[in-house]
Amino acid sequence: MDITNLARVFGPTIVGHAVPGPEPMTIIQDTKRQPKVIECLLGLPVEYWSQFMMVDLDQSHPDHMIIENANCYTPDQKGERVHDAGHKKAS
């Protein structure tokens, strides 16, 4: 997805409106501004964003990027943990 589409999708959620409970005209104006703000943010150089991130170079391999959550379930498994789903014993 390109920057323009990302901005269009995430603009309303991330930027929001100029005032709480906006009037219809404000909503129309904000709708035009929201993607522009996100496009500007996404256009900032990597060096800018890197000041907000801490990366442990020893742990930067993709295998270490997996986040396990024991409280994560899928609806079709009715309470069975996703992590354990592939390790079911045959009855």
* Mean pLDDT in residue range 58-84: 55
Q: Please, which residues have CB within 8 angstroms of residue 11's CB and are 6 or more apart in sequence? A: 34, 35, 36, 37, 38
**Exposed e or buried b per residue across 55-89, where buried means at least 16 C-beta atoms within 10 angstroms of its C-beta:** eeeeeeeeeeeeeeeeeeeeeeeeeeeeeeeeeee
Tell me: pLDDT of 87 over 50: no
Quote the pTM value: 0.55
Q: What is the pLDDT of residues 5-60, one digit of tens each?
A: 999 999 999 999 989 999 999 999 999 999 999 999 999 998 898 888 776 666 65
| Model pLDDT, residue 91 | 44
Cα angle 25-32-7, degrees, rounded to a multiple of 5: 140
Q: Which domains does the chain have, with CATH numbers?
A: 3-85 (1.10.555.10)
Contact 3, 43 (CB under 8 A): yes
